[in-house]
Amino acid sequence: MHRPPIKHCKNCGQAVVYRLPDDGDTKERAVCTACHTVHYENPLTVVGTIPVWGDKVLLCKRNIEPRFGKWTLPAGFMELNETVAEGAARETVEEAGAQFEMGEFFSLVNIARVGQVHMFYRARLLSDQFDPGFETMEVHLFSEDEIPWEEMAFRTVSETLKRFFADRQAGQFSTHVFDIS
């Protein structure tokens, strides 16, 4: 994982050391040298939707790094005190300004090397009018043959869209769980 290690205790501010905690844990953790609080580093959860209008999918052109200027589904990091579906809906409103009806859960993608899990829901757009937020420079509806595959921001999005289009072609949607290494 590429996140920087924890250096100070979130409770008291003292330095931490990486060692096995005294509670029988089998992984080295950041342990406070003063108050002995054990700090856990867990994967980040990215949530989003596959918004559909007729035979087209809504994509957002990123106005932020990473991958500035590349296309993606509306998605982002889940916040505390929200469900996965609530986070996916919030991100869709924030990034695309879309009006939609949340659909079924569609995919879960594990990216262990960067400590992330990405989850997407299908969504049915209720309008083709959008009001993108500051993280998005442009939104566009693409048919399958118009998708800018070479300009996609993230492999998780490309792989999710490929599965979505395959399911749509087959006439039946299923839930997809896969890993990207």
DSSP category for residue 5: P
What CATH number was assigned to the domain covering residues 44-179? 3.90.79.10
Q: What is the pTM of this model?
A: 0.88
What are 104-139's pLDDT values in tens digits? 999 999 999 999 999 999 999 999 999 999 999 999
Q: Are strands 56-62 and 44-53 parallel, antiparallel or unpaired?
A: antiparallel
| CATH number of 1-41, picked from 3.40.640.10, 1.10.10.10, 3.50.30.10, 2.20.70.10 | 2.20.70.10
CB 87 within 8 A of CB 79: yes
What are 25-73's pLDDT values in tens digits? 899 999 999 999 999 888 999 999 999 999 999 999 999 999 999 999 9
Whole-number mean pLDDT of the chain?
95
Place of tokens 């590349």: 70
What are 81-103's pLDDT values in tens digits? 999 999 999 999 999 999 999 99
Q: Pull the structure tokens for residue 55.
A: 């035979």
Per-residue H/E/C for 54-77: CCEEEEEEECCCCCCCCEECCEEE
Q: What does the alpha-carbon distance between residue 154 and residue 48 come to, in Å, rounded to a whole number?
A: 13
Domain limits, the chain: 1-41, 44-179
Q: What does the alpha-carbon distance between residue 159 and residue 108 come to, in Å, rounded to a whole number?
A: 11
